[in-house]
């Protein structure tokens, strides 16, 4: 059974801090790993990673995948209160559906 584990479950930081969110996975016939941001209801897509060692970047957010160690990290630099959300990691494999982790609840205080 495919499995995705995220850590930490929750994190409280102050504006300007840098945070690193972790995601480990066990997926049969791995195809991709995805990060989503969920603020109120609809998760919104952040990144899709398929290759090891290639950093994807969007503004202050970046993510990288390690297919050997089966994990990914999501970095957010110079955090802002608008970054407060649940960050979801998901992976797809031979099951062809996405398997999600429990998410990391990030709270950025002013």
Binding site for other proteins (CB under 8 A): 4, 9, 31-32, 34, 36, 40-45, 48, 88, 90, 92, 95-103
Q: Which is nearer to other proteins, 19 or 35 (CB)?
A: 35
Beta strand pairing status for 32-38 and 56-58? unpaired
Answer yes or no: are the C-beta atoms of 71 and 25 closer than 8 Å: yes
| Angle CA 100–11–46, to nearest 5 | 45
Q: Which is nearer to other proteins, 41 or 68 (CB)?
A: 41
Closest contact distance (angstroms) between CB of 77 and other proteins is: 24
Report strand pairing: 85-92 vs 61-66: unpaired
Is 35 or 110 the residue whose CB approaches other proteins more closely? 35
- DSSP code of 97? S
22 vs 99 by CB, closer to other proteins: 99
Q: How far is CA 61 from CA 21, 28, 47, 74, in A?
A: 11, 28, 9, 7
Distance of closest approach, residue 16 Cβ to other proteins, in angstroms: 28
What is the closest distance, in whole angstroms, from the C-beta atom of residue 107 to other proteins in the complex?
15
- Supply the minimum distance, in Å, between the C-beta of residue 15 and other proteins: 26
């Amino acid at each position: 059974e495919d499995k995705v584990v995220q850590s930490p479950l929750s994190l409280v930081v102050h504006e300007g801090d840098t945070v690193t969110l972790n995601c480990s996975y066990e997926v049969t016939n791995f195809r991709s790993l995805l990060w989503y941001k969920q603020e109120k209801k609809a998760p919104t897509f952040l990144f899709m990673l398929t290759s090891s060692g290639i950093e994807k970047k969007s503004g202050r957010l970046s993510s990288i995948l390690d297919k050997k160690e089966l994990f990914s990290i999501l970095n957010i630099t110079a955090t802002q209160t608008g970054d407060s959300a649940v960050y979801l990691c998901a992976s797809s494999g031979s099951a062809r559906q996405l398997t999600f982790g429990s998410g990391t609840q990030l709270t950025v205080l002013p």
